[in-house]
Chains A and B, each alone.
Chain A
Amino acid sequence: MNSWLYTDKVKDHFMNPRNIMFDDAEFQYDAEGRTGNIKCGDEMIFYLKVDPDTLTITDCRWKTFGCASAIASTSVLSEMIKGMTLEDVRNISNVDIMNELGGLPDNKVHCSVLGDKALEEAINNYYREHGMFEKVRDTESRIVCECLNVSEEEIEHAVLEGARNYYQLQEMTKIGTSCGKCSEDAKERLSFFLDKHVGIKVCVQP
């Protein structure tokens, strides 16, 4: 059994994070995206360099205030996305990131979402700055969980994907797993979408 907390790959990316933006970097970028909140203990910024003709990511950097899992997840993500189109990158889920890392402990799954979300934000910002507003996602969707940037749309998506209670919703979106302030709001939205899509009227309790 490995005596270290995480897989060798997590350890490798944690000890030697790739594509990290240090303070002295001269990196020129076309878009940036930020997610998380220092008060919640996690904050992430992604910087993208994009080929305007092919809408392909040619290079990227990132910064974080985060734990080992957040650092490793974002590092591995930054390697995965180079050479991919912005739209393909959007299809990368936190599950893909975790698979690439060989897994994360259950209580660390939310850390793998962070880089993903910052990246999505950067992509949206790129589209906005380049006038491609039709490609911007989630702009109308209200953010319910400020810490982990989980929107109403994502709650809806999770319900469609099988979330039937608050616990499952948290498993899938990590909503309310940081500061927890949004839990009442999130539960209300969950029961709304459960009613709407599944026809279940429930008393939503974690």
Chain B
Amino acid sequence: MRIILSGKTPGGICNTVAFRNRLEHNVDIEIANYRNPVFIMGDIMQRIYLDHNATTPLHPEVKKAIIESIDVFGNPSSLHEDGRLARILIETAREKVAALINADPEEIMFVGSGSEANNTVLSLVSCSGARCSLHSPADSDLITSTIEHPCILETSKCLENRGTKVWRVGVDNRGLVKMDDLEQAVSENTSLVSIMMVNNETGAIQDVERALKIAHNSGAMFHTDAVQAVGKLPLDVKKLDVDFLTISAHKIYGPKGVGALYVRKGTPFCPLIRGGHQEMGRRAGTENTLGIVGLGRAVELRASEMDTETERLAQLNRLLREGIESRIENIHFNSDPACCLHSTINVSFEGVEGEALLLYLDYEGVEVSTGSACASGSLDPSHVLLEMHLPVEFAHGSLRMSMGRSTTREEIDHVLDVLPDIVNKLRRMSTVYGGAR
């Protein structure tokens, strides 16, 4: 199919990042694979990306910054001109990341992903080396929550197998970590408490400030996985007094494969990846210069765009939420706007299986994600929703829509146009909802 750019297409639609990327890269392929063209505005097919918690498209300015640096090939550890050039780029980016969260540049180390940062922090717990352990080996309990990202949950299971005592604090039905339970769990043996700042599936903002006080009061270190929070919530590590904080670039319109870990000055540390002096000896491996440049530019842009975007997303959240509520019956919102980021709406539809819903929406040009087990190939539906005591059948029928800087009102209107019919179709064929005879 050929695409003809029509002059009457609203600017808000064709100016979105997603659209531009598609036009430049793979629009022909995309269209050829869809028998029904979707979201036709004039002659244009536009896909609606509502999966920003999974990843985000590159910000055009980030893309520009990376392209401008693309020929910088030097090893940042080299002393010659090419090496020094790369070093300057990295250190500039470090300053930018530090500025966003009010850290000192030397407190920021670059890593390959948010998962790596989280693994690095948790690996400290099991470290018994005299110089790098957080506490003496006896004080080595780890406390985390039941709704963490799998990179925390699975690492904590691994630590458990190696003899570390792990406590996992549960959540209430809004998805908030129970602080009273955390208080019960900490002891003088606790070495680290790790609680995520914002949950990726529901957008629930955790009371990190309180969790941190509980941890520090018992003499434990505190880590927060802030991958879903950085660039969406104002963050000040000095005020917060956090010991470790995880950042990922690709959740904030930066490139994949790069993240950062904040390590408060004076905090004991031991590298996960050894064998090099890079990153002040904290992470071996030649730096991903271009990725780091992208991360630096991305956080800089977040600082300037965050406030207006937050306000805009709050309006879109209301629109989407009220729209779903008024059009579709027997639903359950798993994201309470009073305690969740407004960019995320997680909602369950009774009697509908999530993967089927996701793929019908995909066919209509709407890209979302689901907590259904069948979509991921795992056996159980979303651990986060189950921990919130959502009935299993509801968890199988959940959708996560996560909005971002490219999300427009027109897009939300389109989702509200197509969603009720899809839910209705699936319910009519459902064994549970359509009234099995």
Contact = CB atoms under 8 A, between A and B. Distances in A.
B29 A20 contact: no
A41 B396 contact: yes
Interface string B341-359: 0000000000111111001
B393 interface: yes
Contact of B355 (A20, A47, A68): A68
Contacts of B353: 41-42, 65-67, 70
A171 to B, nearest CB: 14
A110 to B, nearest CB: 9
Interface stretch (A83-91, A127-135, A151-159, A176-184): A176-184
B435 interface: yes
Nearest to B30: A3
A63 B432 CA distance: 9
Contacts of B428: 22-24
Interface in A9-33: 14-15, 17, 20-24, 32
A5 B431 contact: no
Interface residues of B, number: 33
Interface string B396-422: 100000000000000000000000000
A34 interface: yes
Given A68-B356, A179-B379, A2 B430 contact: no
A177 B33 CA distance: 32
Interface in B65-110: none
B435 A23 contact: yes
A45 B396 contact: no
Given A17-B429, A41-B374, A45-B431, A67 B356 contact: yes
Contacts of A23: 428, 434-435
B356 A14 contact: yes
B381 A65 contact: no
Contacts of B359: 5, 14, 68
B374 A63 contact: no
B392 interface: yes
Contacts of A108: 374, 377
A193 to B, nearest CB: 24
Interface string B373-394: 1110101110000000000110
Most buried by B among A15, A23, A45, A47: A23
B211 to A, nearest CB: 32
B372 A41 contact: yes
Q: Please give me the 7 A-B residue pairs with the lowest Cβ-Cβ distance, nearest first.
A: A107-B377, A67-B374, A67-B355, A23-B434, A41-B396, A43-B431, A22-B428
Given A63-B431, A66-B353, A68-B355, 14 more contacts: A3-B30, A4-B33, A14-B359, A20-B429, A38-B393, A38-B432, A39-B393, A41-B396, A43-B432, A63-B430, A65-B396, A105-B377, A107-B377, A179-B380
Interface of A: 2-5, 14-15, 17, 20-24, 32, 34, 38-39, 41-45, 47, 63-71, 105, 107-108, 111, 177-180
